[in-house]
Every structure is written in C-alpha cells, then in structure tokens.
Chain A
Amino acid sequence: MCNPRRIRVRATARLAEAWDQEVLRQVTLHGAATGRAAVREPMSARLGAPVLSTLDRVLDGLEGWQQQDDGYRHDLDGGYVHYHADTGDLEIVAELTADVQAAGEAQTTVRGSVQDDLDVEGVGTYYDDGWGGYTEDTARRDAQANADSELQRARAERIGRARADLEAAAAGDVQSQAEEAAQAALANATAARAAELDREAIRRLTTVGVQGRALFQQAVGLAYRDTILAYARSRHAEGVRVSGSGGVLDIEFEMEM
C-alpha cells in the first residue's frame, strides 16, 4: 500500500424551482369570565345614626372584615358583602369566575421560487497498487457519486432555506391574523360564559345574602352594645352591668332624666 491518491469531480446544475407554500398559524388564548349579581340595601334607613357611626370602629379589625375603598368587605363562598360607610349601604354580591379558552387560526398560501447555479465537488480515493480494490476507476465512480450526492444535498439545502425565508416573511402577518382571530373568539366565549355565570350568580344571590346579612348583623350587635354603653356614659348612668353567658350579652343601667 502506498499513499492514497484522490480524484476530484466537479458537478454543476442550474436550480430553478417554484412552488406554492402554505403558511399556517394557530393561537390559543386563556382568559377568565366573571358573572355577578348584586343588591344594595340602605342600612341608614333602619339603623340609628349612633349605631352607623359606631359601625366603622366595630368593623375595623373585626375578624374577616377588610377595609376597602369607602368601607369594609367580608369575602364569602361565591361572593362577598361590602358595607359602604359613606352611604350606609350594605352591598351583597354573588360573584363567580370561570376559566375560558379559545383558539384562532389563520393561513395563507405564498408563491415561492428559487433560482441558483449549484457547483459542487466529489472526491474519490484510490491506491496505485489497487490496494483494497480501490483503483482509479473505482475512485472516479466514487467521486462522481459523491458529486451527485452533494448536488442533491445542495439543492435540498437551497430549497429548504428559501422555504424557511418565505415562511419567516409571511409568518408575521399570519401570526397577527391568528392572534386577532383568537382574541375575537376569546371575547365571544368570555361574553357567553359571563352571561351564564350572571344567571348562576342571580340564583346564588339569595344564599350569599343570607350569609352576608348574618355576618353584618353580628357586627351590628356589637355596634348596639357600644352605642348603648356610650349613651349610658354620656348620661352618667349608674349601676352599669355588662354580662355575657349562653351566647347572649346583657346590659343594664339606670339613669335620671
């Protein structure tokens, strides 16, 4: 065996291809729909002014009540109750939320083409003494085969690059159209689900109202207590007794009028 020798074969081809290429984009969006039903009840029509002015202090720090905006809110299962201190209104709200998902897609067909001159080289190896059966003839065949194979590879690579460039050029618009379609679909799905949830919220408002009024009335009971004791102090009442047992609070005092 001596040093290997190489035969190089050059191959050229004119590449001229055209095709129709489909560009497709699908977008899925997630959102949330909310249904709501509410009723406002004017507590100022029922409760005395001293009780209303005491309620603020009672609700501030009372377990479960959070200061919010113009008053205090207590969250409930499926809603909340909000006492608006500025108006004296009790707002009872049934609120339901659900996840919403919608998809949109867009597609377009673009015309692609590529024209190029391909120029490649194939190499074959042989030995002067024909070692291993590698002769000049086999090397020439190998070089030609390699050149043909390289030509195919270059052609596929050139077309693939052209298709990718075409896809990238068209994708922006198609993606935008798909997103617009998805947003429109999501808006429709959200509105439809919200309408269902609104109807369900109306049905639940009674239950939420019972819970909300009961919680508020507990606070009112404390405001009654504080109001009457403040009144007793202002009247210099005597024998003030406050006692609690069995879940009831008894207050008693005497005063001169």
Chain B
Amino acid sequence: MRYRIQLRIREDTGEVELFQVDTVGADPRAAGHNAAHHRVATEVAGLLENDAVVEEIRDPRATQPVPGQVYRPEPAQVQQLPPETHSG
C-alpha cells in the first residue's frame, strides 16, 4: 500500500504539532487494510517516541470512521482531519 506521512514540528519548542499517516488510493474495505495501516503508523511514530499512541482519526461529520492514523505526542494535540485528506 502507499502511504503519505505528514509531520509538523514547531521550531522554537521542538513540539510535534502534527503527525499523520494516511493511505493513498487504497480500499479501506480491503482485507487487512486497517491492520497494515496501523502497523505502518505505529512503526513510523515509534521512530520518534517509544510507546507512541496511534489513534484512528474520526471525522465528526462522517458516519463511518476515516482511517487516517495519527500519533499523538505529548502534549497531546487534537488533530483535525483536513477536508482534502483521502483515506484508502
């Protein structure tokens, strides 16, 4: 599968404001999609911090979960899903 990784770091504090792993062009209903997505998000987040908590982003406007994966470093920053984000 193809993944898009986005990372935003505040230069004055070193704080990670955004860390998001999206699938690109993949079918979210495909077998093993979510597990693979979670594994990759966990692997990339684990580069930065141990025991990184990876959560699936849920778009409050959607009736179904939008399976982007976001790593929440401390201090936790609520990640808003950009409207143009496509998940596989």
A residues adjacent to B (C-beta < 8 A) = 45-48, 50-51, 214, 217-222, 224-225, 227-228, 231-232, 237, 244, 247-257
Contacts and interface: CB of A to CB of B under 8 A. Distances in A.
Contact of A47 (B2, B3, B24, B49): B49
B10 A248 contact: yes
B13 interface: yes
Contacts of B49: 46-48, 51
A257 B1 contact: yes
Contact of A247 (B4, B11, B46): B11
Nearest to B12: A247
A256 B5 CA distance: 11
Contacts of A221: 9-11, 13-16
Given A225-B7, A249-B11, A254-B2, 15 more contacts: A45-B50, A46-B50, A47-B48, A48-B48, A48-B52, A221-B15, A224-B14, A228-B7, A231-B47, A251-B7, A254-B5, A255-B3, A255-B5, A256-B1, A257-B36
19 contacts: A45-B50, A48-B49, A218-B13, A221-B10, A221-B13, A222-B14, A224-B7, A225-B7, A227-B48, A248-B9, A248-B10, A249-B9, A251-B8, A253-B4, A255-B2, A255-B5, A256-B2, A257-B1, A257-B36
Contact of B47 (A48, A219, A251, A252): A48
Given A255-B2, A255-B5, A256-B1, A228 B13 contact: no
A247 B6 contact: no
Contacts of A48: 46-50, 52
Interface in B1-38: 1-17, 24, 36
A232 B47 CA distance: 11
A254 B4 contact: yes
A133 to B, nearest CB: 102
B40 interface: yes
Contacts of A45: 50
Nearest to A232: B5
A231 B7 CA distance: 13
A218 B2 contact: no
Given A47-B48, A47-B50, A221-B14, A257 B40 contact: yes
A81 to B, nearest CB: 14
B68 to A, nearest CB: 14
Contacts of A254: 2-5, 24
B3 A257 contact: yes
B8 A50 contact: no
A68 B10 CA distance: 28
Contacts of B8: 248-251
A250 B13 CA distance: 14
A219 B15 CA distance: 10
